[in-house]
Structure 1
Amino acid sequence: MVKLNVIYTRTGDDGTTGLVRGPRRQKFDLRVEAYGTVDEANATIGQARLGTGSMPKIDMMLGRIQNDLFDVGSDLATPGEDDPAAHKSLRVTAVQTLWIETQIDHFNEALTPLKSFVLPGGTPLASALHVARTVTRRAERIVVELASLEPDVNPEAIRYLNRLSDLLFVLGRVANNNGEKDVLWVPGNYGDLKKGD
């Protein structure tokens, strides 16, 4: 159990932060950026949950995902191999990613088939889920970049974020009355603009 009694330590006043193990790193370090962006994605999901009052199952699912994202953050904040004699580090597992895939398959079944790309919008919940989706995609890109520089990054963390962004897209459509209220992209649509406007 984590116990946090002191909120500020002053140890980061020099622009560095501590990981679970290893030397302190600059706060702009790519690993710090990676788990920080995962934290940002988590916060956007928390914001989206404010609109799930009429969808308790989705709210519970998003709550589980928020917990999983803390696992992802812990994974990313723990570089290097475990000492066999020490406590095993928390890592994202294939079971967590498979659960996300199961949710995608379940919710996608009832959706109206897509005829175009979906624009972020529709209902407030759908819009919030699209924000969460794009932040999750950004987190995934940063983790992929980190993995190219530090090969000890758990590949399952990348897979989890990839699937999560897909799930958030599907849930955005669910929040738009199962796709009925989706806002679709119309390529080259200039609306009612007249020449010279």
Structure 2
Amino acid sequence: MVKLNRIYTRTGDDGTTGLVDGSRVAKASALIGAIGEVDEANCAIGLAVIHAEDGDPLRRIQNDLFDLGADLATPQGIEGALRIVPAQVARLEAEIDAMTAQLQPLTSFVLPGGTPAAAALHVARATTRRAERAASAAAVSPLALAYLNRLSDWLFCAARMANDAGAGDVLWVPGGER
């Protein structure tokens, strides 16, 4: 378990931060950028939790994102490191399939919005997509990338579920406001 006796350490005052193995990297590195984007996605999901009818799946995902952050912050080759595992990706896929079976068929692209819960989930989805792009640029593990990719799909489906299983989706009307 993590125990924090003091929040500030002063070790990052030189523009570096520590990885799990004790090595130091620049805060401006692609890897630390990806870790920060994952943190932002987790924050956006935390906001979505307050609007959700059942926040438990989102809280589980928040824990997964801490696992993902640990995965990213641990250089490859370290024995016993906390890593994203295939079961976490498979669980998201199974849940996406279950939601999709309940959703109205798509007839257009969905605009972010609808209910407050759906809007918050769309923000979390877009933030997760940004985290995925940053993780890709940092050349992280394929499972970490797969998790972020599935998570954004999961959040899209969850947003549609929050819009009355898609019946309340706000649909794009191409050229409709000209």
- Answer whether TM exceeds 0.5 for this pair: yes
1:110 maps to 102
User: Structure 1 32/66 Cα, relative in aligned 2: closer, same or farther at 3 Å?
Assistant: same
1:46 maps to 46
2:6 maps to 6
Displacement of 1:80 in angstroms is 2.7
Displacement of 1:68 in angstroms is 0.3
In our comparison, the structure showing a higher alpha carbon Rg is: 1
Among 27, 47, 72, the residue aligned to 1:76: 72
RMSD: 1.1
1:173 maps to 160
1:33 maps to 33
Alignment map for 1:23-172 (pairs within 5 Å): 23-52=23-52, 55-56=53-54, 59-82=55-78, 88-147=80-139, 153-172=140-159
CA distance in 2, matches of 1:22, 1:158: 24
CA distance in 1, matches of 2:89, 2:23: 30
Secondary structure of 1:14's partner?
coil
Q: Among the aligned pairs, what percent are the same residue?
A: 57
Unaligned runs of 5+ in 2: none
After TM superposition, the score normalised by the length of structure 2 is 0.97
Displacement of 1:96 in angstroms is 0.3
Contact 1:91 1:154 in 2 (8 A): no
After TM superposition, the score normalised by the length of structure 1 is 0.88
Displacement of 1:82 in angstroms is 1.6
Displacement of 1:22 in angstroms is 5.3
Contact 1:22 1:79 in 2 (8 A): no
CA distance in 1, matches of 2:3, 2:23: 22
Count of residues in Structure 1 that have an aligned counterpart in Structure 2 = 178
User: Structure 1 3/22 Cα, relative in aligned 2: closer, same or farther at 3 Å?
Assistant: closer
Task: State the AA in 2 paired with 1:79.
Answer: P
1:16 maps to 16
Runs of 4 or more, structure 1, over 4 Å off, are none
